[in-house]
Amino acid sequence: MVYLLQFCGFTDPLELFYLEQRRLVAHSGAAPCGLAYGGFRPFQLDALLSWALDTARGRHWDGDAIQRTVLDVWMERAEVIRQWQLRLREQPDDRLLVAALGSRGDWDRQCEDLLRA
């Protein structure tokens, strides 16, 4: 399976919590599905990888594929990541950088949902 990792922007912890809760309520009673969101401050590879692997275990995703995805994104987008890190330092102390991780199908559904809104 192919997994995609994107960096979405900045938010405060409460908004990140609400984002996760909306996803959980939409799929109440079912196993976790859809995009997984994580907030980071500081934004470092070890924290991102740890979150991604924890998410993979909780969702029964392929941990090796998730690890490859995170490492590939980190290497391929090094300059963009550096810019995110610099911008995060300029944000108020309570702001987090949000990352989203999911399968291609999760991302397709997310985009379709946005178009329906």
What CA–CA distance (Å, rounded) separates 7 from 2? 17
Tell me the residue range of the domain where 104 lies.
Answer: 3-116
Rounded to whole angstroms, the Cα distance separating 90 from 84 reads: 10
pLDDT digits (tens, 9 = 90+) for 19-75: 888 776 555 556 667 899 999 999 999 999 999 999 999 999 999 999 999 999 999
How many domains does the chain contain in total? 1
DSSP letter for 81, please: H
**H-only helix segments in 1-117:** 13-26, 45-59, 63-76, 78-90, 104-116
Give the pTM.
0.88
